[in-house]
Structure 1
Amino acid sequence: MPRTKKKNGRGGQHGNVQPFSDEDASIETLSHCSSFSDVTSVADEGGEASEDTAQEDFQYKLKGFIDSTVDKSAKTRQGALDGLKTAMATRILYEFISERRMTITDSIERCLKKGKGEEQRAAASLACLLCIQLGSGIESEEVLKTLKPIFKNILADGSANIQARQAVATSLGLCTLVAEDDILDVHATMECFENLFTRAYARVDGTCPSINPQTSQLYTNALLSWALLLTICTASQLKDILRKYLPKLPRLLESEDVNMRIAAGETIALLFELARDMDTDFEFDDWDELCDKLNALATDCNKHRAKTDKRKQRSVFRDVLKAVEEGDFQSETIRFGTERMTIDSWVRKRTYDAFREFVGSGMNYHLQANEFIRDVFELGPPILVDSATMKAMKISRFERHLHNSAAFKARTKARSKFRDKRVDVGEF
C-alpha cells in the first residue's frame, strides 16, 4: 500500500457547516461535504441563505475556539482544544484550517509546553487531526517540524505527565506517517519508540520487569506507533529491523498487560507479512518456539486473568497464529456511503486503526471525503453523489427511531410467544 507524497496535498474540500457533533458521522456524512451536494439539495435544506448563515455561525464558533486556546483559564483552553478536535474529526475543513495553520500550530505548541496532563493530551491529538486535515505535503511538514522536538522531549522526559507521554507516543507516530518527508528522520523517530517499548522485554530468565499500568500503556502506544512506521520503511531498513527485533519481540508476549501482549502479537504478524512480501521463502530461526507461544495465548486458560481479557486475547492470537503459520489474514469489509473497502492485510489494519483512533466515528466520513486518507487507502478521488442518491441514503433520526422501536416490539412479541410455548410444554 504505497503512500505517495504530494507537495500541495489537501485533506479535502471545505465542508458544509452545521452545529458540529460526532453523532451519525457515518450515516449522514454526505450532507456535510459541499462537494457532495448541489443547489437543489441546499434548497431542500432551507435555501442558500440559511446555508450561508449556518456556515458563518460554524466558522465563528471555530474562530472562538482558536482564540480560546490562549485563554488564561486551563479549563477554557481544554474546552477549546476539544471543540477543535471534534470539528476536525467530523468535517473536512482544509481551506479554513490552511489559512490559520500557523496560529493553530502555535496554540498547540503553547499548550504542550505550558499545559498539564489532559490539556497536553488534547493538544497532541489536535496536532494529529491538523496533519490529517492538511494531508501529506509542505503544510503538514511545517507543522511536524515545529512540534516534533517538543513531542520528543516529552516522550523522553521521565518526569513529564504520563498521560501527556502516552498521547505524544501515539500522535508522533501518525504525524510522522502523514508529514515526514525524510525516511532517515522516520528511522530516527522509530528509535525514540524503541527506547521505550524495549524496556518491557521479559528478562532472559523469563521474569518480567515491574511496570505500573500507566507506564505499560506508554510502552504499548510506543510499540503501536513503531509498528505503524514499519509500513513505510524501505526494504533495507526492514531487513535490519527483522534481524534486530524479530528475535526479541516475542519477549513482550510474556507481559502481564493484555494490551501489550496483543500489540506485540499484531506487530509480530505485521513483521512476518512484510518479510514475506520481500522474500516469499522467508524463514525465522525460532519459528517453532514462537508458534508454541502464540498457540498458548490463543488457547489461554489462566485462572488469574480476567475473562474479558482472555476472550479478547484468544480472538486476536488465533489470527496472529494463522498469520505466522500460514501467512493468512482474516479480512474485513468497511462500508461507507456507496463504497466499500477491504482490510485485507496487517499493514492496512495497522494504518486503518491508527487513523480511526483519532477521527473515531468520523472515519467513514473521512474515507468518503478526505483526499489524503483516500490516497493512503488507494480509493481514488472522492466520488460525487447526486442529490437523489443522497436523499435515498439519508435516513432521519425519527425514522430510525420508529424502525428500531418496531423491530424491538416484534422481537419482544416473538420471544414472548416462544416462552409461552415452553411453559405449556413444561406443564404437560
Structure 2
Amino acid sequence: MPRTKKKNSKGGQHGHVQPFSDEDVSIETLSHCSSFSDGASVADEGGEVSEDTAQEDFQYKLKGFIDSTVDKSAKTRQGALDGLKTAMANRILYEFISERRMTITDSIERCLKKGKGEEQRAAASLACLLCIQLGSGIESEEVLKTLKPVFKNILADGSANIQARQAVATSLGLCTLVAEDDIVDVFSTMECFESLFTRSYAKGDGTFPSLNPQMSQLHTNALLSWALLLTICSGSQLKEVLRKHMPKLPGLLESEDVNMRIAAGETIALLFELARDMDAEFETENYNDLCDKLSALATDCNKHRAKNDKRKQRSVFRDVLKAVEDGDFQTETIRFGNERMTIDGWVRKRTYDAFREFVGSGMNYHLQANEFIRDVFELGPPMLVDSATMKAMKISRFERHLHNSAAFKARTKARSKFRDKRVDVGEF
C-alpha cells in the first residue's frame, strides 16, 4: 500500500503509530460526528480547510495502523488492531475501509492464525466491526468466506488459547448474522456452537459436567451466538431446534456459573417468543417445572452466591418468567440524537446486545449513521449526515450499496419467514 510518509527505520515499526486513547476517541474521532448529537454544525470561515486537514491526519493514522498489523512486534500489532477497532466503533468509515477491505481481512486472518491470546481476541473483534462497517452484501460475504474456516478451526481446537476461543465464539455469531448469504450455512454454524454449549448439558445419569470458569464462559458465549442466529432461522429450522433443545436447555439453569444461568434463561425466553409467533398456544413439556425453576431464580436467596450475582440474576429472571408465563416483555426505549427506538421483544434485545458488545459507547452514533444497523432495526435512512460522511458518499458507493441493499432485503425475507402467516410451519 502506498504510504504518504516515511516509516521509522528501527525494526520496521512505525514511530507515529499508537493505539487510540480515550482522549483520542473523544476529541479526534467523535468531533467529526458532532452534528449527529448537536442537530446542526456550522463551520467558521476556514473551518472546511481545518476539517480536511483533520480528516487527512485521521486517515493517515488509520493507514499507519493497517501497516502495523503486520509488524514483527506482537505489542505493535496488538496496538494497531485496538486502534482500528476503536476507530470503527466510533465512526462510519465505509469508503476508507471498502478500498482496503482485502488488506484488513488478510491482516485479521494472519493475526488469528499466528497471534496469541489477546492479539487473537482483538483480531476476532475487528472482524465483526469490519462486517458492521461494510453492511450486508458481497463485501462482508467475502470477509466471512475468508475468515469463517479460521474461526471454526479455533473453535474446534481444544488446545487453542481459551480467550481466543471465547472471542471467536462471539465474533463468528455476529459476522454470520451480518454476512452469511445462505440460511443452510447459518444452520451449519449454529451446529458448531451447539457442539460447545451442549457439553454443559446434564449427562445421562442427571449429573452435570465439572467445568472451570474459562470453559464455562466459552460455552456461554457459544450459547449466546447460537441464540442470536435463532433470530434469523426459518420456521422449519426453529421447529427442529425446539424439538432437540427445549427438553435439555432448562438444565443449564442449574449451572454454577451465573453468566450461563442468565444466558440460558434469556435463550429460553427468546425461544418461547419465536415459537409463539408461529403458534400462540405453544407450550413445552414439563412447562410447570420450568416455570418453577424460573420463579426460584427470580427470588433466589441462596447464601452461597455473591450478592451482585443474585441481584443481577433476580432482575433477569423476573423478566424471563413473565415471558414464559404471560408472553410479556419489559420494553426499553433507546434514545439517540433526536430519535428513539423501542426494544420490545427478546429478538430485538438479543440483536441489540450483540451489536452493542462490539461498538460499545459508539452504539448511539451507529444507530444514527450506520445504514446497515438502521436497516436491521427498521429505522429508515439516516436522518442526519455530517459533512465528513457527505464527502464520502461518492457515486461508486451508491452503486455498491444498490447490490448490498438487494442482498439485505433478500436476507430480511428469510429472517422474517417465521412471522409470515402464509408459511406452513407444521405442528409442534
How far the C-alpha of 1:384 sits from its partner, in A, is: 2.4
Q: 1:320 to 1:394 in 2, by over 3 A?
A: farther
The separation in 2 between residues aligned to 1:182 and 1:416, in whole angstroms, is 15
Q: Deviations over 1:215-237 (max 9, x none)?
A: 00000000000000000000010
Gaps of 5+ in 2: none
The separation in 2 between residues aligned to 1:188 and 1:414, in whole angstroms, is 16
CA contact (8 A) 2:201 2:252 kept: yes
How far the C-alpha of 1:386 sits from its partner, in A, is: 9.3
CA contact (8 A) 1:12 1:93 kept: no
The separation in 2 between residues aligned to 1:156 and 1:281, in whole angstroms, is 38
The separation in 1 between residues aligned to 2:422 and 2:139, in whole angstroms, is 67
SS of the counterpart of 1:107? helix
Aligned to 2:135: 135
The separation in 2 between residues aligned to 1:126 and 1:213, in whole angstroms, is 25
Q: 1:248 to 1:425 in 2, by over 3 A?
A: closer
Aligned to 1:321: 321
Aligned to 1:24: 24
How far the C-alpha of 1:41 sits from its partner, in A, is: 3.4
The separation in 1 between residues aligned to 2:114 and 2:41, in whole angstroms, is 46
Q: 1:11 to 1:327 in 2, by over 3 A?
A: farther
How far the C-alpha of 1:48 sits from its partner, in A, is: 1.0
Corresponding residue pairs, total = 428
The separation in 1 between residues aligned to 2:410 and 2:347, in whole angstroms, is 43
SS of the counterpart of 2:422? helix
Q: 1:405 to 1:121 in 2, by over 3 A?
A: closer
Q: 1:11 to 1:155 in 2, by over 3 A?
A: farther
SS of the counterpart of 2:424? helix
Q: Deviations over 1:323-359 (max 9, x none)?
A: 0000000000000000000000000000000000000
CA contact (8 A) 2:62 2:84 kept: yes
CA contact (8 A) 2:20 2:82 kept: no
The separation in 2 between residues aligned to 1:354 and 1:262, in whole angstroms, is 15
The separation in 2 between residues aligned to 1:25 and 1:231, in whole angstroms, is 33
CA contact (8 A) 2:169 2:193 kept: yes
The separation in 2 between residues aligned to 1:389 and 1:309, in whole angstroms, is 43
CA contact (8 A) 2:144 2:180 kept: yes
Give the greater-gyration-radius structure (CA): 1
SS of the counterpart of 2:335? strand
How far the C-alpha of 1:285 sits from its partner, in A, is: 1.7
How far the C-alpha of 1:130 sits from its partner, in A, is: 0.2
CA contact (8 A) 2:277 2:418 kept: no
SS of the counterpart of 1:422? coil
CA contact (8 A) 1:224 1:267 kept: yes
Aligned to 1:363: 363
SS of the counterpart of 1:341? strand
The separation in 1 between residues aligned to 2:218 and 2:189, in whole angstroms, is 15
Gaps of 5+ in 1: none
Q: 1:138 to 1:385 in 2, by over 3 A?
A: closer
CA contact (8 A) 2:265 2:317 kept: yes
Which deviates more from structure 2 when the two are superposed, residues 399-408 or residues 44-53? Answer: 399-408
Q: 1:307 to 1:412 in 2, by over 3 A?
A: farther
The separation in 2 between residues aligned to 1:270 and 1:10, in whole angstroms, is 54
CA contact (8 A) 1:368 1:383 kept: yes
Aligned to 2:10: 10
Q: 1:280 to 1:23 in 2, by over 3 A?
A: farther
Aligned to 1:85: 85
CA contact (8 A) 2:29 2:87 kept: no
SS of the counterpart of 2:13? coil
How far the C-alpha of 1:393 sits from its partner, in A, is: 25
How far the C-alpha of 1:173 sits from its partner, in A, is: 0.1
Which deviates more from structure 2 when the two are superposed, residues 43-52 or residues 183-192? Answer: 43-52
Q: 1:345 to 1:29 in 2, by over 3 A?
A: farther
Question: Where do 4+ consecutive residues of structure 1 move more than 4 Å?
Answer: 1-31, 33-40, 385-428
Q: Deviations over 1:296-343 (max 9, x none)?
A: 111111111111101110110000000000000000000000000000
The percent identity for this pair of structures is 90
SS of the counterpart of 2:416? helix
The separation in 2 between residues aligned to 1:352 and 1:293, in whole angstroms, is 27
Q: Deviations over 1:97-154 (max 9, x none)?
A: 0000000000000000000000000000000000000000000000000000000000
How far the C-alpha of 1:202 sits from its partner, in A, is: 2.4
How far the C-alpha of 1:46 sits from its partner, in A, is: 5.6
The separation in 1 between residues aligned to 2:103 and 2:427, in whole angstroms, is 76
CA contact (8 A) 1:66 1:80 kept: yes
CA contact (8 A) 2:32 2:388 kept: no
CA contact (8 A) 1:10 1:371 kept: no
SS of the counterpart of 2:205? coil
Q: Deviations over 1:364-413 (max 9, x none)?
A: 00000000000000000000279999999999999999999999999999
How far the C-alpha of 1:44 sits from its partner, in A, is: 3.0
